[in-house]
Structure 1
C-alpha cells in the first residue's frame, strides 16, 4: 500500500475484519457541519480540559466465559498466539511476555464451557468474622457517598495533571542543561585554540542529561538489604538446581548489559551464533489392531496418516467445549475427509471400501478409551521409572537447551517443533478444529553464524534454507498451515536479548513522559476539528490513551473477525446520553471486550456524529482513519510511539504515582495486599479487565473451608488449655472457648473423617515411596504388615476423635505441654488465619481484574522491585522463579529511590 493511501484512507481501498469494503458502505462527510457541532472549526481553540474516561461497568460474566478458549481460564494469563505475520511477509516481532508461555501445553489453563453459577448467599457472607486491616492509603480519599465513577475520574485527573507538569519540567530541564553546555563547550575549545564543534558540545563531555532515557544507566547505590529466605532454605534450593543451569552459570562473570550504554538498538543483533537446531516430535505410533474408529457401527481401518487425525479428535472427547462446537466439528470433518481420500480411503474388516460421508456416524470412543488407558498407565508408573524416563528425555534434549550468542552461553526458549494436532484457537475462531499438519525439516529455515556448524537435519531430510540473518533474534522458523503465521525459536525469557527487549519497551514508555502533555493537549484540541479525518484521529487517540484500546489491524477474509479502535463498527458502540458509551466487540485473540464507560462530552458528541445516518450495521465508525495513519501520526511526537506504548506508560506511571503516596505497614501478608491493591487500582484505571473465571466460586469455597479448618484447630488448642487448667475459663471468658459460627457437630464429624482419611493417604504414599526407594537401591520391599502397623496411627486418630465427641473434652497433646506453649501455638495459628484471610479478600477483589497482565506486561518491573526494597518484602512474593529470571535486569539495576 502506498503512503498516499495510508494518509487518505478510502473505503474501497482496504479490507477490514474480514469483510471487503464496498462502495455501498456509508462514509462520513469530509467536514463536520456546524449543524452537527456548532463548535467545529478548522482552527479550534485549545479545549483546555477533556474529562478523563473511566469504566463504570465490568465485563458480562456468563457470556464472556462462554466465548473464551479452552485454555483461557486459570491461575495466570493465557498465552496469546501471535497473528502478526502473513504468508507474504514475515515478522520478527517478539510476542508479549507472559508467565504462561513458560508452561508446557499440558499444564496450561483449561476452561469449562459451562456458565459460572453464582451463589448469592456465599457471595454476601464474609469469609471470616474479624475486621480486616484497612488498605494502605494510595491517594486522597473522597467521601464514601461519592459514586465510584466520580472517584476514579478525580484520581485520573490528578494523575494526568501531575504527568503534564512533570513532562514540562523534564523538557525545561533538558533545554536548560543543553543551553548551559553550549557556552562551556565553546569556551573550552577556544581556550585550546581549536575550532568549536558544529553542535558546540564535545562528545567526551556529554552529560547524563543529554543521553535519552533509553540510554541512561541507573546510578549505583547501596541497595537496602531485603529479608529473603533463610540460609538453610537457600542451601536446600541450591541442591535442587538442574545441572544445565549450573553449567550455564559456572566460570562465567555476570554480564550486566543494562549498565552498558554501548549496547544500543543497532540493526546487527549478533556477530557469532551457534546452536544445535530443533527437536522434532516423535513419529506417529499406530493404534493396536483391535482399537479402531467405528463408522455407522462398523470398525474401520484407516491409513496411518488418517488414523493419526482420528486420534487427535478421539483423544480429546473429554474436552466438550471443543468437540461439541459445531464449527470445530465442521472444520475437523472437512480436513479429516480430505486426508482419508488422499490416503486411499477407509475399509471394513473384509477390506471393502467404506465411504465416510457423515460426521454424526463417526464413533471415536474406542480411540478415546485406549488413550485414556495409556494416560492412566503413565500416571501410575513407579516414581523410579518416571524418573528414569525423564532423565532419558532430558539427556536427549540437553544439546538444544543452550546456544552460543556472541561467545556467551544463552538459554533457548522453546526449541521443540510443535506436534501435529487439531487447531483450537481462542474465542470463536473460524478455523477451530482444522488439522495442524506435521512440520517437516524441509519447511524449517535455520538462522546461524556463517562460520558455525549447521545442525544436521534428520536422516533422509534437509532444511528448507540456512540463513545468516544478523538482524534477526530467531534461531529457526517455519510457517504453520492454519493461518500462515511464522513460528520462531527464540531465546528464553531470562536471556540477555529478551531482557533487552523488555528493557527497551519500558524505556520507550519512560520516554513518553516527556511528550504526554503535548499529545493530550493536541488531541483535546482535535476533538473539535472541522476536518472529519482529524476529528476521528483525535477521538481515536483519546480512546487509546484513556481506555487502553488496541489500535486494531486490518484483517484478511479468512482471519478472525476481531476489532480494535480504528476498526470499530456501528454495532460495536452503543451511546447512552449524556456521556456513557458501551463497547462490545471481539478483541485480540477473539476474546470478547465488553465495557461501559463514561467519556468526555465532546467525545460522546463525536461518536454520535461518526454513527450518523445513513450509517448502519456493518459500517465502520472511524472510516477516515487507518491503523498505519494513526501510528504515523503518533510517531511525529516520538520515534516508535504506537498505541501499545500508551498502555505501558499509563500502567507504569500510575503505579509509580501510587507507590510514591503509599505508606505500607504491618506483616508481609498485609504489605503484599497493599501492593495488590495498588496493582488493582492500576488495572482498573488502565482498563485491564478479565472475565470471572468459571472456577472462581469453587476456589473461594475451598479457601473458606481451609480457614474454617484452621479455626477448628484453634478451638481444639483452646479446649486443651481448659484440660490443663479448668479455672482459665473464668479468666478468659466463656466466649473465648466457644465454637465458631457455622461449625456445628455435623461439620465437625465430617471434618474429622477428612483428617483421618488424609492421614491414611499420607501413610500409604510414604510407604509406596519408601518401597520404590528400597527397590532402586537393590533392597527388598517392605511387607504389607509394615503398612498395617503404620496405619495404626490413623486408627488411633479416629478413636481419639470419637472419644472427644463423646466426652466433649479435648486432652492436651504433646511432650511437656503447658498453657504458655498452647498460647504460643494459638498466636502462630491466628497469624496463619489472618494471612489466609488476606489472600481470600485479595482473590475476591481481583476476580474481574487482570493483575497478571498489568504486572508482567505493562507495569515496569523496576517499580515492583522498588516496592520490595522500600517496604522490605522478599521479591519472591511478587515474581515466580521464571519471572525473577526474566526480570533479573530490573532486580539488579535499581534501588528503593528509583523513579519511573
Structure 2
C-alpha cells in the first residue's frame, strides 16, 4: 500500500511542505526505536484508563494545553424538553456541499450552576482554582470488588475474543455470500435453459415475499404494488370476510359504533412501515410533494419598566431598546457563575455590547446627557437580574389551571406548524421555532462564548416547499429571503446564524419516517462493516510497519479510531474553536509513557476536554515515537501526512460509504450483540435492567465511551441510601408493633430480631420523623390546591383555609405519635385488625422493596463513569435493546422514554427476539 507524492491530495501536500517527518522511514530508525523501547512481554491493549492517575513519566513530560477546567460532560438526553433554544439539526447529508461546515455541530449549552449573588463586582470575584484530572479509585477504573484482577484487564481479554469472533464472522459471511451468488448464477442459467421450451402460461410464478434474516421482508421483484399496500390489501380482505360473518349472532345486537380500539387498529393497519422496504429513500430525490406552514418566530422584545435600569459607575442609565435587550441577556443570567465568571465570556459580551451602544447612541443619564460605557467593571446588571428573577418566580407560582391555560393557548397557536404533509403523509416537524436572540455559550472552552446571537428575521430565511404548495406567508411587513423547491433536501427552512456562520435547518422530528430512515441506514452501514472488518484490521496491522510514512501514519490513525473510538477530526480555520480529533492531533496532545502507554489530552468535540490513558500495541507506541521525533515540537502535527478526507477515501475502498465514524457504531453494536448472545438474565425486572446496564457498561469500557463522575452523583447515592434506611426503619417499627400484639415473640424470635440497627441512631430517627411529617404536610397542601382548582374550573366556590387546617391535623397527629414513641420506647400496632401474620406479610414486602432499591443503587454506582444514554441512543443499534426487551420479557419503557420510543419506532416494530446484528 505504498503511495507517491503524485497521488497525494493537494491539502496533504500543503501540510507536508511544513512537516518535519520524512517521506520514508529508514530501517535504522525502526531498529533504534526497538532498542530504546524493549517489549515487556504480553500486553492487552485496547482498554483505556480514562481519568486514571497521572504519574511521573520517563518520556514526554506532559505539556500544558492551556485548556483547564474542561471536564468532559454527559450528553444531553433526547428526552429533554424542547424550547426556542433547542439545538439545530446536525444532519449534513442533505445540505448543499458549499454550506457544510467542517466543525461538529454545537450541542446545547451546559446547564447553569446556581449560586448566591455577591455584591462584589463580577470582574473582582475570585475564579475557581484550575482543576487537574481527578485521580480515580480502583472501582472507578473498573476494578472488581471480589478479585485482585482489574476489570479492565479481564475485559481486554474479552475484547480480544470479541474481535476474533468478529473476524471469523466476517469470513463466514463473505463465504456464504459467495456461495449464494454462485448458486444463484447456476440456478439462473438452468432456468434460462429450461424456460426456452416452456409455454408462457405454464412458467413458474414468483413466490410470495418471505421474511429475511434481518427481520425485513423480501420484495417481490415482479410486483408493481408497494409492499405496505400489499399487506394492507390482505388485511382489509380478511377484515371484510370477518365482517360478513355474524360473530355476535344469538348474543344480542352487535356494536354499531366504532370503538377507540377499532380506530387504533385501523391507524396501525394504515401505518407506513418503510423499514420493510429498505430500498425506499436510496435515490437522491427525497420527496415529490411537500407542504408546511413555515416557522414560528420568538416574541418581540418588551422594554423594561421605567424604574428598572442598569447602573454604570453607580448611576442609573437609560438605554435604547436594542442595547437594553443585550444588557438584559447578561443581567438575566447573573446566577450562572460558570459563564459570568469566565473572562472570555465577559470580554466577548462587552465587545458586542459596546458595538450596539455605539450604533444606538450610547446610554443617557436622568438629565439626558450621553454616558459612554467604556469599562465593564463599572457595569452593574443586578437590577435587571432582580427584575427577571421576580418575573420568573411570578410565572412559576401561577396556579396550575392558569399554567395549563397558557400552555393550551401556546399549543393552539403553534398547532399548524407542528406537522407538514410529506408525499401526502402527515409528518411531525422537529425544531420549527426560530432561535431567539441571546448570548452564545458554547461548550467547554469555546473561544466565542459570550458573543451576542442576533435576532433572526424572515429576510434571512429560505423556505423549502413543493412547487404546487402554497408558500407560507411571511410576518406582516416582511418577506422570505428565498423560496426553493429542493427535492433532494430534507429541510423545510434554513438560515445562517451570526456566531459561527453555521446554517441552521428546520427538519422533521426524530420520530418521522425520514429521520427514522437516516438512523436505520446508519446502523445498517455498521452491520455492513462486519463483513469487511477482518480485512481492514489485517491491512492496517501490516501497514503499521510500512516503510512509507504516509501509510504508517494512516494505519496508526485507523488503529486508534478502531480501538479507542477517537473521532477522526477536521482541519480548522483561524476563527474556529481549536478542537482536535485523531488526524489533527498535535505534538503536545500525546504523551508517551514506556513501555506502551499513551496519554491523550486535548479539546475534543464541542470544546470538551478529552483526557485518556491507554495501552497500545508495541508497534503503535514505536510509531508514535517516530511521529513525534525531533525536530518536531509543540504545535507540530503528529499525523502530518494524513487528512480526514484522505483517510475516509482510503476506507471507502473497502466498502461504499465507509468513514471513520462508522467504527464507533460498529464496535459498540457488535460488542453488545456478542454479549447479548451469551447472556442469561433472570430474576425481577430491576435485576434484568441491571443486567442490560452491566452489558452497556462493558460496551462503554471496551469501546471507550466513558465520562467523568457527575458532580451530583454522590448526593444522588446518598438520597437512595437514605431511602433504604427509611425502609429499614419502617421494618423496625413493624417488628415493634408485632411485640405490641404478642410480647411472647421476643422470646420466640430472640431479642436481637427486635433490636434497632446501629446506623439508625436517635439523631437520624428524629430527623427522619421530621422529614416524614413535613412530607405529609406538603402532600396535603398540594392536594388541597388541586381540589380548589378543580372546584373553580367547575364554577363552584373554592374551599376556605379552615378546610386546609383540618386536613393538616393528620400530620399533627403523626408528629405527636412520633414524640410519644420516642419518649416511651413503645410502638402501638396500626391498621384495621392488626395481626402478627399481616405484620410479617408487610415485612416481606418491605424486604423486596429494599432488595430492589439495592440493585438500583448498585446499578447507578456501577455506571457513574458511563454515559449509558449516549451509548444506548447513538452507538448501540436500538434493535439490540428491543431484542433484550423481548427475549427477557422486560417492558421497552424501561429502556426507552416516550420520545425515544417514537424515534426508534422502526426498531421496536421491525425485529423479534431472534434478530441478529
Check whether TM > 0.5.
yes
Unaligned runs of 5+ in 1: 15-20, 42-48, 127-134, 136-140, 196-201, 221-242
In the other structure, the counterpart of 2:186 is: 183
> Is the 8 Å Cα contact of residues 590 and 601 (structure 2) preserved in structure 1?
yes
> Is the 8 Å Cα contact of residues 12 and 642 (structure 2) preserved in structure 1?
no
Deviations 1:249-296 (A, max 9, x none): 959711111112441411111111111111000000000001000000
Pair 1:194–1:434, CA change in 2 (3 A): farther
Separation in 2, partners of 1:69, 1:545 = 21
Bigger CA drift: 802-811 or 540-549?
802-811
- Report how far residue 732 of structure 1 moved: 2.6
In the other structure, the counterpart of 1:153 is: 156
CA RMSD, Structure 1 to Structure 2 (Å): 3.7
Bigger CA drift: 504-513 or 754-763?
754-763
In the other structure, the counterpart of 2:28 is: 35
Separation in 2, partners of 1:766, 1:64 = 51
In the other structure, the counterpart of 1:512 is: 529
- Verify: 1:628 aligned to 2:645, yes or no: yes
Separation in 2, partners of 1:448, 1:298 = 53
- Report how far residue 9 of structure 1 moved: 5.9
In the other structure, the counterpart of 2:169 is: 166
Pair 1:6–1:493, CA change in 2 (3 A): farther
| Of 60, 69, 77, the match for 1:66 | 69
> Is the 8 Å Cα contact of residues 75 and 870 (structure 2) preserved in structure 1?
no
Separation in 1, partners of 2:450, 2:219 = 50
What are the residue-to-residue correspondences of 1:821-860 with 2, within 5 Å? 821-860=838-877
Aligned length: 829
| Of 400, 418, 423, the match for 2:417 | 400
Pair 1:556–1:321, CA change in 2 (3 A): same
- Report how far residue 89 of structure 1 moved: 2.2
Q: Any idea what SS the aligned residue of 2:639 has?
A: coil
- Report how far residue 740 of structure 1 moved: 2.5
Q: Any idea what SS the aligned residue of 1:554 has?
A: coil
> Is the 8 Å Cα contact of residues 77 and 869 (structure 2) preserved in structure 1?
no
- Verify: 1:344 aligned to 2:361, yes or no: yes
- Report how far residue 845 of structure 1 moved: 1.2
- Verify: 1:376 aligned to 2:379, yes or no: no
Pair 1:115–1:764, CA change in 2 (3 A): farther
> Is the 8 Å Cα contact of residues 59 and 690 (structure 1) preserved in structure 2?
no
- Report how far residue 730 of structure 1 moved: 2.7
- Verify: 1:7 aligned to 2:24, yes or no: no
Deviations 1:435-485 (A, max 9, x none): 000000001111111111111110000001111111111111111000011
> Is the 8 Å Cα contact of residues 508 and 514 (structure 2) preserved in structure 1?
yes
> Is the 8 Å Cα contact of residues 345 and 354 (structure 1) preserved in structure 2?
yes
Deviations 1:706-763 (A, max 9, x none): 1111111121111111111122223333222222231100111111111111111221
Deviations 1:183-202 (A, max 9, x none): 2111111222399xxxxxx9
- Report how far residue 776 of structure 1 moved: 2.2
- Verify: 1:562 aligned to 2:563, yes or no: no
Separation in 2, partners of 1:609, 1:215 = 52
Separation in 1, partners of 2:11, 2:484 = 39
- Verify: 1:316 aligned to 2:333, yes or no: yes
What are the residue-to-residue correspondences of 1:422-821 with 2, within 5 Å? 422-821=439-838
> Is the 8 Å Cα contact of residues 690 and 850 (structure 1) preserved in structure 2?
yes
In the other structure, the counterpart of 1:410 is: 427
- Verify: 1:865 aligned to 2:882, yes or no: yes
> Is the 8 Å Cα contact of residues 72 and 111 (structure 1) preserved in structure 2?
no
Separation in 2, partners of 1:460, 1:68 = 47
> Is the 8 Å Cα contact of residues 491 and 508 (structure 2) preserved in structure 1?
yes
Pair 1:33–1:270, CA change in 2 (3 A): same
> Is the 8 Å Cα contact of residues 464 and 491 (structure 2) preserved in structure 1?
yes
Deviations 1:395-437 (A, max 9, x none): 1011111111111111111110000000000000000000000
Separation in 1, partners of 2:206, 2:273 = 23
Separation in 2, partners of 1:476, 1:50 = 53
Bigger CA drift: 825-834 or 363-372?
825-834
Q: Any idea what SS the aligned residue of 1:404 has?
A: strand
> Is the 8 Å Cα contact of residues 65 and 691 (structure 1) preserved in structure 2?
no
- Report how far residue 70 of structure 1 moved: 9.8
> Is the 8 Å Cα contact of residues 709 and 864 (structure 2) preserved in structure 1?
yes
What are the residue-to-residue correspondences of 1:92-111 with 2, within 5 Å? 109-111=111-113
Separation in 2, partners of 1:677, 1:379 = 39
In the other structure, the counterpart of 1:54 is: 47
> Is the 8 Å Cα contact of residues 536 and 654 (structure 2) preserved in structure 1?
yes
Separation in 1, partners of 2:401, 2:146 = 63
Bigger CA drift: 209-218 or 334-343?
209-218
In the other structure, the counterpart of 2:249 is: none
- Report how far residue 64 of structure 1 moved: 9.9
Separation in 2, partners of 1:709, 1:841 = 18
Deviations 1:162-191 (A, max 9, x none): 001100000000001111111211111122
Q: Any idea what SS the aligned residue of 1:477 has?
A: strand
Pair 1:693–1:125, CA change in 2 (3 A): closer
Bigger CA drift: 685-694 or 821-830?
821-830
Separation in 1, partners of 2:591, 2:175 = 43
> Is the 8 Å Cα contact of residues 430 and 560 (structure 1) preserved in structure 2?
yes
Separation in 2, partners of 1:351, 1:258 = 68
> Is the 8 Å Cα contact of residues 883 and 913 (structure 2) preserved in structure 1?
yes
Q: Any idea what SS the aligned residue of 2:27 has?
A: coil
Separation in 1, partners of 2:799, 2:138 = 53
Separation in 2, partners of 1:798, 1:789 = 15
In the other structure, the counterpart of 1:237 is: none
Separation in 2, partners of 1:618, 1:396 = 54
Bigger CA drift: 71-80 or 248-257?
71-80
Deviations 1:824-843 (A, max 9, x none): 22222112211211121111
> Is the 8 Å Cα contact of residues 44 and 153 (structure 2) preserved in structure 1?
no
In the other structure, the counterpart of 1:132 is: none
Deviations 1:749-789 (A, max 9, x none): 11111111111122122222222222222212212221111
> Is the 8 Å Cα contact of residues 52 and 156 (structure 1) preserved in structure 2?
no
Pair 1:214–1:649, CA change in 2 (3 A): farther
- TM (norm. structure 2) is 0.84
Q: Any idea what SS the aligned residue of 1:67 has?
A: coil
Unaligned runs of 5+ in 2: 35-41, 55-65, 115-126, 199-203, 221-226, 229-259
Separation in 1, partners of 2:265, 2:551 = 54
> Is the 8 Å Cα contact of residues 89 and 505 (structure 2) preserved in structure 1?
no
Separation in 2, partners of 1:92, 1:558 = 13
Separation in 1, partners of 2:761, 2:284 = 70
Deviations 1:82-107 (A, max 9, x none): 789899922499999x9x98xxx8xx
Separation in 2, partners of 1:84, 1:183 = 44
> Is the 8 Å Cα contact of residues 65 and 693 (structure 1) preserved in structure 2?
no
Pair 1:5–1:312, CA change in 2 (3 A): farther
Separation in 2, partners of 1:501, 1:352 = 59
> Is the 8 Å Cα contact of residues 72 and 610 (structure 2) preserved in structure 1?
no
Q: Any idea what SS the aligned residue of 1:593 has?
A: strand
> Is the 8 Å Cα contact of residues 209 and 219 (structure 2) preserved in structure 1?
no
